[in-house]
Amino acid sequence: MDTAKLLADLGALLGADKVSRDPARLAARHRDTWVLSLWRKMRDKQFLPPACVVTLKSTEDAAKLLQYAAGNKVPVVPFGAGSGVCGGILAEPEVVVADLTELNRLLWVDEVSLTARVEAGMLGAEYERALRERGFSMGHFPQSIDCSSVGGWVATRAAGQFSTKYGCVEDMLLAVRAVLPDGTIVETKAAPRASAGPDLKQIFLGSEGTLGIVTELTYRIHPVPEATQLRSFSFPSMHAGLEAIRLVMRGGWRPAVLRLYDDVEAARHFGGHVDEGEALLVVVSEGARTMVAAEGDAVEQICEAAGGRSRGRAPAQKWLKERNVVPSFETFLEQGIIVDTIEVAALWGRIGELYDAVLEEMRKLPELIVVSGHSSHSYPQGTNIYFSFAAGGDDLEATYARCWEAAMKATLDHDGTISHHHGIGRVRAPWLPAELGSSHLLLRLLKRAIDPHGIMNPGVMLEKVC
Ligand SMILES: Cc1cc2nc3c(=O)[nH]c(=O)nc-3n(C[C@H](O)[C@H](O)[C@H](O)COP(=O)(O)OP(=O)(O)OC[C@H]3O[C@@H](n4cnc5c(N)ncnc54)[C@H](O)[C@@H]3O)c2cc1C
């Protein structure tokens, strides 16, 4: 569609002040933090801006925008806070970016039922701060809490650092309000649990902007915990540490944090607290004082029986202090090094082999500089591994593709899931059919039924249809 007409139509529909072609705004909203998008922009020294950015201030604004977009077959890309790392946002020239950053109010807190209603564009840290002022917490602490939105968490099925106790975002979501791609507003009911057919809010969890725009969420909350206890243990190997976590989870204990760093990461982050070749486990327990004390003792017994050695509070304190500090991708790219993370998960029966296989396959690549891993989100049935790698070479984009290919193939070969919490976006889309197998059909049918013109975030998760 002709851009001038698009701008005039959207201005008339929503108010000209909500429709922007300001170059700085287009630049700030056209992509997420996927390292390959950043690299292409640095390498090519330019980017093609989207058609415009529309600022949504209400669910009704989103409904008007999508009704218009469906009628005119205009592609729309929702923008939460842009912290996604998989290329979920890469707005091409014909795209309208639906900017949720000003749909950002905490609507209410129900202190009796322990629920809160929040607009989708509120930043995670602001939401948590507002809850804390009232004596509550969501319990969801992604490393990106300062730069991700509460709606983006749902769209990507995010996991926070304290997930082993409080669960991931799907465990915290009670209800959603969303706008379908034809502009229809839908709302699900908040209940402690329901047996009223399929759980329809699940459609939006992990939808990555491909099935509509989520505008409001009802989340579970809980009182700020009474006590916190920090511990850490070193293990002779990653495998020994994984076995200790398995036994803690199997015993019914739920420390908020169980993070196991392999030898490379333990030496990098906790040098001085581990011997050469050792893995390090950080444990944070929180909740009622008596429960925390009992959990701490039980975890210590299990870890020591599994070959662990207590390393006191200091490594856990260090982790808590530094947990959201990350070096910028840009600094590495400027030195000709591409850095990224790949988080996968598997059942306990396969996770050790999967960890070994991913490292082995990636280390075969001549351009690889380093690869390492840690486990950060555990369940009675299994855990995740969060791999980090750095690689060089003459063609960084080709190197990057080879690193991902090696990790994804080794994960699938060992029955792992290709993403634990970052989502699919563009980077994992080629492996989604293998991940979902016969159920890939359900995803395609869902997309076709809900978004028949394929206007919502084309190119993410599934192939473009418009
Ligand atoms: C330094 C850093 C640390 C990170 N740590 C974690 C972590 O600990 N745990 C974790 O899970 N992730 C983490 N991430 C990844 C990222 O923060 C999450 O994926 C987050 O949930 C994205 O939220 P966002 O609001 O920034 O979404 P965006 O990047 O804006 O969007 C992500 C996707 O969701 C869609 N979308 C966003 N909002 C909506 C909406 N309201 N309705 C419909 N679709 C929408 C977008 O179109 C896009 O496809 C990290 C990222 C960085 C850069």
Cβ(384) – ligand 1 distance below 6 Å: no
237-273 per-residue burial string, b: 16 or more CB within 10 A, e: under 16: ebbbbbbbbbbbbeeebbbbbbbbbbbbbbbebbeeb
Which pLDDT belongs to residue 327?
A: 86
Which pLDDT belongs to residue 45?
A: 87
- What is the number of the ligand 1 atom nearest to the C-alpha of 32? 29
Which pLDDT belongs to residue 175?
A: 98
- Mean confidence (pLDDT) of the chain: 97
Task: Quickly tell me which residue has 């009796």 as its tokens.
Answer: 112
C-alpha 163 chain-centroid distance: 12
- In tens, the pLDDT along 382-439 reads 999 999 999 999 999 999 999 999 999 999 999 999 999 999 999 999 999 999 999 9
Q: Compute the distance from residue 305 Cα to the ligand 1 centre, in Å.
A: 39
417 with 345: CB under 8 angstroms? yes
- Tell me phi and psi for residue 401, to 5 degrees: -60, -40
Q: Compute the distance from residue 143 Cα to the ligand 1 centre, in Å.
A: 11
Bridge partners for 15 per DSSP: none
Q: Compute the distance from residue 60 Cα to the ligand 1 centre, in Å.
A: 23
- In tens, the pLDDT along 203-246 reads 999 999 999 999 999 999 999 999 999 999 999 999 999 999 99
Per-position DSSP letters for 86-105, written without gaps between them: SSS-B--TTPEEEE-TT---
Q: Compute the distance from residue 438 Cα to the ligand 1 centre, in Å.
A: 27
The neighbour count for residue 171, using CB atoms within 10 Å, is: 12
Which pLDDT belongs to residue 413?
A: 98
38 pLDDT band, cuts 50/70/90, is very high
- What is the number of the ligand 1 atom nearest to the C-alpha of 33? 53
Smallest Cα–Cα separation from 371: which of 390, 392, 398? 390
- What is the number of the ligand 1 atom nearest to the C-alpha of 207? 44
**Structural tokens at position 50:** 């989207």
Q: How far apart are CA 404 and CA 392, in angstroms?
A: 14
Report helix, strand or coil for 445: helix
The neighbour count for residue 289, using CB atoms within 10 Å, is: 12
Q: Compute the distance from residue 306 Cα to the ligand 1 centre, in Å.
A: 36
CA distances in angstroms from 1 to 4, 35, 459, listed in the order given: 9, 30, 19
**What is the DSSP pairing of strand 213-220 with strand 173-179?**
antiparallel
Cβ(210) – ligand 1 distance below 6 Å: no
Cβ(168) – ligand 1 distance below 6 Å: no
> Does position 466 have pLDDT exceeding 80, yes or no?
no
Q: How far apart are CA 149 and CA 101, in angstroms?
A: 8
Ligand 1 pocket: which of 148, 153, 332, 374 to mutate (most atoms within 8 A of CB)? 148
Q: Compute the distance from residue 175 Cα to the ligand 1 centre, in Å.
A: 19
Smallest Cα–Cα separation from 325: which of 269, 372, 391, 388? 269
- In tens, the pLDDT along 66-90 reads 999 999 999 999 999 999 999 999 9
- In tens, the pLDDT along 279-324 reads 999 999 999 999 999 999 999 999 999 999 999 999 999 999 999 9
Q: Compute the distance from residue 153 Cα to the ligand 1 centre, in Å.
A: 6
The protein residue whose alpha carbon is closest to atom 4 in ligand 1 is 144
- What is the number of the ligand 1 atom nearest to the C-alpha of 147? 26
Sequence-separated (6 or more) residues with CB below 8 Å from residue 154: 120, 169, 173, 176, 204, 205, 214, 217
1 pLDDT band, cuts 50/70/90, is confident
212 with 179: CB under 8 angstroms? yes
Task: Outline where DSSP puts E strands in 288-398.
Answer: 309-310, 338-347, 368-375, 382-391
The protein residue whose alpha carbon is closest to atom 16 in ligand 1 is 84
Q: Biggest alpha carbon distance in the chain? A: 70
Cβ(208) – ligand 1 distance below 6 Å: yes
- What is the number of the ligand 1 atom nearest to the C-alpha of 168? 11
The protein residue whose alpha carbon is closest to atom 27 in ligand 1 is 152
Q: Compute the distance from residue 81 Cα to the ligand 1 centre, in Å.
A: 7
- Tell me phi and psi for residue 465, to 5 degrees: -120, -5
The protein residue whose alpha carbon is closest to atom 15 in ligand 1 is 84
- The average pLDDT across 26-33 equals 96
Q: How far apart are CA 215 and CA 37, in angstroms?
A: 26
Which pLDDT belongs to residue 96?
A: 98
- In tens, the pLDDT along 320-347 reads 999 999 888 999 999 999 999 999 999 9
> Does position 46 have pLDDT exceeding 90, yes or no?
no
> Does position 465 have pLDDT exceeding 70, yes or no?
no
- What is the number of the ligand 1 atom nearest to the C-alpha of 80? 30
CA within 13 Å, CB half, 282: 27
Q: How far apart are CA 36 and CA 19, in angstroms?
A: 28
Rounded to two decimals, the pTM is 0.97
Bridge partners for 108 per DSSP: 117
**Structural tokens at position 121:** 């564009």
| Amino acid occupying residue 435 | E
Smallest Cα–Cα separation from 157: which of 124, 218, 202, 221? 202
199 with 175: CB under 8 angstroms? no
Cβ(155) – ligand 1 distance below 6 Å: yes
